[in-house]
Amino acid sequence: MLDHSSIINLRYSTVNDLEFVCELEADQENARFIIPWSMYIHKKALEDKDILHLIIEERTSHEPVGYIIIAGLENPNKSLELRRITIAKKGKGYGKEAFKIIKNWAFHVFNANRLWLDVKEDNLRALRLYQKQGFVLEGTLRECIKNGDGYDSLHVMSILRGEYTE
């Protein structure tokens, strides 16, 4: 286990978790905000020393409720990318708690200088969460992702060690 709070545990993902992860990505509510990965890509991520692949589970039942993927563990600039966070049971505070744990780990354990992410500009729920967690909008990658007949834009957001408060 990486760490825990009063309502969740964060633990390292295993191959046995990947069916849950792929189903969560394929869920219609989630798939429109991410580009789902195949089982093969998730398996490769588990083997990659630069990537931290984690399961978010309810603390008491140990039921998986989401996952997180962080990249940049080998980045010499100490810049971590929060590549994915997806929550199955929304509105219960699991995402907020996961962010508290990840930010503490990133800045106090890993000793990162920067934690960054990108988010589709129409993902308002995620944008609000990231802003509440102290992430600052750095800019927008305009129409950078093909989506059917159109394109989606991504906001790039980050929090620096000097901006982080527990």
b/e sequence 23-44, b meaning 16+ C-beta within 10 Å: ebbeeeebeeebebbeeeebee
- Indicate the SS3 state at residue 9: strand
- pLDDT tens readout for residues 115-132: 999 999 999 989 999 999
Q: What's 124's domain CATH number? A: 3.40.630.30
Residue 78, C-beta contacts closer than 8 angstroms, at least 6 positions apart = 110, 111, 112, 113, 114
List, in sequence order, every residue forming a beta bridge with 94; answer none if it has no partner.
none
Q: What are phi and psi of 63, to 5 degrees?
A: -75, 130
Q: Which domain holds residue 94?
A: 3-163
Number of domains in the chain: 1
pTM over 0.85: yes
- pLDDT tens readout for residues 43-83: 999 999 999 999 999 999 999 999 999 999 999 999 999 99
